[in-house]
Amino acid sequence: MLLIIKRLKEKFLKEESGNALVLFALSFIVVLGIAGAVIDGGIVYNTKSHLKKAANAAVLSGAQELTNNNDAVNKVVDDILKAHSEEGSLKQIDIMPNGEYKLRVALEKEVPTYFCKLFRINSIKVAAVSTAALAPMSRGTGAVPLGIDDSIPLEYLKEYTLKVDSGDSVYGNFGILALSGPGAKLYEQDLRYGYDGELKIGDVIDTQTGNIEGKTRDSINARISACTEPESGVNHRDCPRIVLILVYKPYNVISNQLKQVKITGFAYFYLKEPMGNQDSSVVGYFLKRAGTGYGDSTTRDNGAYAIRLTE
């Protein structure tokens, strides 16, 4: 009897050892698979994140040229993707100009796997899509202390004369604005370099008083001299001849003098020619252009746009 019990015990232990070996092998495979999924999954995640960043950068930069032409948009997108080492990942680019102003970029690439190769998965396809759109600017930065009454129709690339004294022009009484406060020095600083702050629709701005024609002439001529682009290059991104001005509605008029204005929008103005010693007006024309700020699709379209991601 004892002999029988001994043999049964040996047989059970032998079978248990074999079962443990099988369970160990299966567990090892599962652990290996999980490790492979974690490692390869991390690579896929990082790749997708990088693709998304590249796509976002491409559409945000490329959208600046939507008011220009498709070739300019394509060039910027290509440059940005090259900077991110993703020029070979471009799958599709959709440019929607002429009022809609949207740019969509789709990227895609094959990511090689490592542990997943054990399961015959040699690569994983990763994709990212981004879309940017333009909307009329409702909040902007860098504006100069010049404005135009919103009752004046804006025609793009048509010559306008902005008065900088207290007189009228055929396009209305423009006057000048005190963005940083009263005084010729602050006015000159804002005209040369742009107002160092954000302005938004609905803000009430004081008008500037006093004789500032000399400050205007010096600042305008300095901006024109600083731009090396010919007049035909009106869409050049870094040309100081292109200024952001305010579109306004008269807000406070006392004794036929405009004391305050209320901002109703923004517009871009190209400084066409230098001012002479006797000039009391700024000559140029309005452009369609994207800049720094925030957009609102319900805002009146004056040709100044802000860029936002929509996808």
Q: Which residues contact 167 (CB under 8 A, 6 or more apart)?
A: 173, 280
Helices 2-62 and 70-83: angle between axes, nearest 10 degrees = 140
Model pLDDT for residues 216-255, shown as the tens digit of each residue: 999 999 999 998 877 766 677 789 999 999 999 999 888 7
Helix, strand, coil shares, percent, the chain, to 5: 35, 35, 30
Q: Which residue has the higher pLDDT, 6 or 225?
A: 225
Least confident stretch, 64-73, 107-116, 220-229: 107-116
CATH class of 22-134: alpha beta
Query: Considering the entire predicted model, what is its pTM?
Result: 0.82
Judge whether residue 171 has pLDDT over 50.
no
Judge whether residue 170 has pLDDT over 50.
no
SS3 call for 236: coil
What CA–CA distance (Å, rounded) separates 73 from 98?
13
Work out the pLDDT band at 12, boundaries 50, 70, 90.
very low
What CA–CA distance (Å, rounded) separates 269 from 161?
11
Least confident stretch, 19-28, 69-78, 120-129, 249-258: 19-28
Listed residue (153, 96, 133, 177) closest to 286, CA to CA: 153
- Backbone dihedral angles phi then psi of residue 306, each to the nearest 5 degrees: -115, 155
Listed residue (93, 127, 94) closest to 110, CA to CA: 127
Predicted local confidence at residue 114, as pLDDT: 78
What CA–CA distance (Å, rounded) separates 84 from 78?
10
How open is the CA angle 164-167-169, to the nearest 5 degrees? 85
- Backbone dihedral angles phi then psi of residue 152, each to the nearest 5 degrees: -90, 120
Judge whether residue 13 has pLDDT over 60.
no
Place of tokens 């032409």: 69
To the nearest 10°, the Cα dihedral for 301, 302, 303, 304?
Answer: -100
Evaluate whether 298 touches 134 at the Cβ level (below 8 Å).
no
Mean pLDDT, rounded, of the chain: 84
What CA–CA distance (Å, rounded) separates 72 from 67?
10
Evaluate whether 42 touches 76 at the Cβ level (below 8 Å).
no
Residues forming beta bridges with residue 204, ordered by sequence position: 262
Exposure string over 200-210, b if 16+ CB within 10 A, otherwise e: ebeeebebbee
- Which H or E element spans position 242? strand 242-254
Domain with CATH 3.30.1300 in the chain: 22-134
Listed residue (195, 197, 199) closest to 186, CA to CA: 195
What CA–CA distance (Å, rounded) separates 157 from 137?
19
Residues forming beta bridges with residue 141, ordered by sequence position: 198
Predicted local confidence at residue 48, as pLDDT: 93
Chain centre distance of CA 256 = 41
What CA–CA distance (Å, rounded) separates 286 from 171?
13
Q: What is the mean pLDDT of residues 83-89?
A: 94
